[in-house]
Amino acid sequence: MPSTLIPELLARPDFQRAVEWRRRPFAAGEVIVQEGQHDRSLYLIEEGSADVVCDVWLEDDRHIRPGIWVLGPGDLFGELVLFDQRPRAASVVARTPGRVVAIDAESLQAFLDGHPELGYRVLKELFVLLTERLRRANQRLESVFAWGLRAHGIDRHI
């Protein structure tokens, strides 16, 4: 779901570029955000596309890096930084060349506190985004769980 309010926010003269936010190009294959990193930015993809991936560790120190989500122009990522200060839960890797806008979370929070009507609208948009992502994650988890039951023959006993 592309953001409608973040581009509106970036166009405001009282939300200063180079202070509260900056544009950053990325190359295909570049890691934009690394899982476990303590980055304090929210990102908006302006151009290009990227994959949200996470490391899944298997026995014998082997791991796979499945794709969780595909992001494109107008999509936000890293929004959890507005709600907690934990490390990144996933990595974002560029599929194509493009550009992101990195928005400093603390500056954004202070700005939205000072503009509560806009703050409410932005938080409402983020809530809708997070709800949609949670629903999709639940659907994927259900599919993986069902596959595991079938793969091990357990579904015959239920």
**CATH number of residue 123's parent domain:** 2.60.120.10
Res 136 pLDDT > 80: yes
pLDDT band at 115; cut points 50, 70, 90: very high
Question: Tell me, what's the pLDDT at 17?
Answer: 82
Res 66 pLDDT > 80: no
Ranges of beta strands (E only) in 3-155 are: 21-26, 31-33, 41-47, 50-53, 56-57, 63-64, 67-71, 76-77, 91-94, 98-104
The arithmetic mean of pLDDT across residues 42-68, rounded, is: 86
The arithmetic mean of pLDDT across residues 37-44, rounded, is: 94
Q: Which stretch, 35-49, 53-67, 135-149, has highest mean pLDDT?
A: 35-49
DSSP letter at 61 equals G
pLDDT band at 143; cut points 50, 70, 90: confident
Res 131 pLDDT > 80: yes
The arithmetic mean of pLDDT across residues 34-39, rounded, is: 93
Q: What is the pTM of this model?
A: 0.83
Count: domains in the chain: 1
With a CB cutoff of 8 Å and minimum separation 6, the contacts of 157 are none
pLDDT band at 144; cut points 50, 70, 90: confident
CA dihedral (111, 130, 22, 90) in degrees, to 10, reads 130
Range of the domain at 116: 5-157
| Distance from C-alpha of 73 to C-alpha of 54, rounded to nearest angstrom | 21
Res 68 pLDDT > 80: yes
Q: Residue 100 burial (CB < 10 Å; 0-12/13-18/19+)?
A: buried
More confident residue, 76 or 63: 76
